[in-house]
Amino acid sequence: MSGAREGAGGAGGGPDAAAALEHVRAAGVRAAAALAEAGARDEALAEFVPERRRYSIRRRAKMRPIGRVWRLGVFLLARDGTLLAAGPTTRAVPPGHPNYQSASGEERRAYRAAAFQGPFERGEVVNFAARPLEPVDAASPLTIVGGEPLVRWSPGAAPAPFDAYLAERVDLLVHPPDGA
C-alpha cells in the first residue's frame, strides 16, 4: 500500500487519514501473519503481458507471475501484508476454441490461454491487474471518512467498517465452510 496518498474520499487528508492508512497497513500485516500461520489457501498473482510483435516475430500474450496472495473479497493480501485492490481473475485451464460469440468471451478466453501457457498449476486461480489501494480514487474499495477506514465491497452498497470486513474475510479463509 506504499502508493496510497494521505487524502481520502471526503476526509480531506491530514493526520486522521494518515493514521487510518497506518491502521490499514498494520491490519494487513497482522492478517497476513494469521493466514500464513493457519496455512490458508492462497492464489497466484500475475501481470498480463499482451500479445506483441517484434521484428515480425509474434509473441503470445502471457501471464507473468508476480507472487502469491490471499483473496479477501475486494482485496488481495500479499505475504508482506500489502493490500491491493483486486482485479480480474482467470484459471489456468485449456482456453477452448474461439467461438466469436462476443468480444468479452474472446477476451476471457485469451486470459485463460495466457494463464494456461504460464508456469501455473493446472486449474489454479490467477489474479491479475491488481492495483495499489488509493483511498482518494473513486474506484478504490477503500475509503476513509472522518479518519475511519471503510470498505466499498459493491458499487451500490453502503461502505462497511474495514476492521469487521477484514476479520470476516480472514476467518472465512482460516475456517472455510464445509464443501468450500
Residue bearing cell 475486494: 74
pLDDT at 13 over 70: no
In whole angstroms, give the CA distance from residue 128 to residue 168. Answer: 24
Residue bearing cell 482460516: 174
Q: 3-state DSSP call for residue 11?
A: coil
Report pLDDT digits (tens) over 93-137: 999 888 878 999 999 999 999 999 999 999 999 999 999 988 777
Of the pLDDT bands very low, low, confident and very high (cuts 50, 70, 90), residue 180 is low
pLDDT: which is higher, 3 or 114: 114
Average pLDDT, rounded, for the chain: 89
pTM of the full structure: 0.84
In whole angstroms, give the CA distance from residue 149 to residue 158. Answer: 13
Provide the strand spans (E) within 20-91: 43-49, 52-54, 57-59, 62-72, 75-78, 83-85, 89-91
- Look at residue 5 in the predicted model and tell me its pLDDT: 36
- Look at residue 10 in the predicted model and tell me its pLDDT: 43
Report pLDDT digits (tens) over 34-56: 999 999 999 999 999 998 888 88
**Which region among 9-13, 64-68, 160-164 has the lowest average model confidence (pLDDT)?**
9-13
